[in-house]
Structure 1
Amino acid sequence: MSKPQPHIIQEGSKQYSLGELKGSELIYDFDKMLVYLNAKGKLLFGETFKTFEEDRDILFKLCNYFIGDEANCKKFGIDVKKGILLSGPVGCGKTSLMKLLRHIVPHQKPYKIIPARNIVFGFNHVGYKTLEDYGNGHYFCFDDLGVEPIGRHYGKDCNVMGEIILSRHDLFLEYHIKTHATTNLNAQELEKRYGNRVRSRMRELFNLIAFDKGSGDKRK
């Protein structure tokens, strides 16, 4: 039985190589990864999808994080043990990249991408069980963190995502379970939204990778 080759990805009848094996070491090739990401992006999001040259640095950081290249990540101040908090203006492509990048590491446990507002709507409907559902051992990426409404169940208000982040922080410390998120907010806005205690936990939970403030809306 042949060994699995994590750098060879089959999409339909086409095969993509993301690098090459040199002895027992896998050497990834960033340009080959971009070729695959563009092809996979078209399959996921339609023929108009493309990666942008202006996002090359962000993509390079994210690719190195996902493949676990500790040497390159160290240069960028990225801790491969933590999750990713991908921030940037509305429409810059945060959600699409988080949906896309998990496909370059098919051998790793995938994470589910859940809009934060949907979690709050779930809390409003079923209550505190929602906090348990997302404070467990599954892998999640919380999308659009910080713009969700305050939760309310039977007249009681709850900062739902703040509570979930505290639970995810405990999971990270005890079981090394990662959490990812995307946000349009900056550090000060996140602290205002969730408070200093949650913001402090977020620093331990996430690597912050940020798009340039001037990144345009790619959905236009």
Structure 2
Amino acid sequence: MENPSKIIEGGVEYSLGDFDGTTVHYDFHRILIYLDAKGKLLFGGNFKIHKSDRPVLRKLCAYTIRDAHTCKALGIDLKKGLLLSGPVGCGKTSLMKLLRHLVPGSRHYEMIPSRNVVFSFNHLGYKTIEDYGDSGCFCFDDLGVEPIGRHYGKDCNVLGEVLLSRYELYLASKGRIKTHATTNLNAEELEDIYGNRVRSRMREFFNLIAFGKNTRDKRA
């Protein structure tokens, strides 16, 4: 039987925990070793898991491996998606890309820059809102800094409309089809951009996980 607690990367086998034949009992320390190695393969040798980021990463990992006990203790709802917020350069996008590799064979979300959704709308119109709003599992990167959409002279808050559609999809699928996002903005700033209705829906189908506002810029 294949052992799902082990992953081979670059010819090296990494153990994420212990497998008893039916269940993987994950070990956070071993997960960190794997993520650090995988991060270097994906993003280059300068990638590093910083000790100060471990509290956030613990939450993200517990959600990704579907550790119901830890998630309950941390106030994380496994039926909801993730809204990962924090300052520019703190590593949100890299972590969301990295976490997709933690559970081989699981259904992966597609990383989509929010601005690309708007560019698609400008070209294709409301079909874009259907494409991103009615199906699929996505992580919308840099939510809130995308421009306003414009198609045939009409302006549209594209991501606001997509999020409303994604909320309906969340309800219809009973949480099986999730939406994730990263953002540099806080709740008040998101509400200013998308309005109270969208912000209210976001509270209902996102788990908010936030880096501290003083988190260092990893790109510096």
Give the shorter-chain TM-score range.
over 0.9
Maintained 8 Å contact 1:6/1:107: no
RMSD of aligned residue pairs (Cα, Å): 1.0
Distance 1:155 1:190 in 2: 25
Whichever residue aligns with residue 184 of structure 2, its letter is N
Maintained 8 Å contact 1:111/1:141: yes
Choose the corresponding residue for 1:152, options 139, 147, 150: 150
- Runs of 5+ unmatched residues, structure 1: none
Normalising to structure 2: TM-score of the pair? Answer: 0.97
Aligned to 2:132: 134
1:125-155: CA deviations, max 9, x gaps? 1111111110132110000000101100011
Maintained 8 Å contact 2:4/2:19: no
Distance 1:89 1:169 in 2: 26
Maintained 8 Å contact 2:5/2:26: yes
Maintained 8 Å contact 1:73/1:80: yes
Distance 1:112 1:184 in 2: 19
Pairing 1:210–2:210 present: yes
Whichever residue aligns with residue 174 of structure 1, its letter is A
DSSP-derived class of the 2:155 partner: strand
Aligned to 1:183: 183
Distance 2:103 2:197 in 1: 33
Count of matched residue pairs: 218
Aligned to 1:163: 161
Distance 2:5 2:198 in 1: 37
Distance 1:92 1:134 in 2: 26
DSSP-derived class of the 1:195 partner: helix
Maintained 8 Å contact 2:62/2:70: yes
1:92-114: CA deviations, max 9, x gaps? 00000000011001221001101
Aligned to 2:106: 108
Pairing 1:20–2:18 present: yes
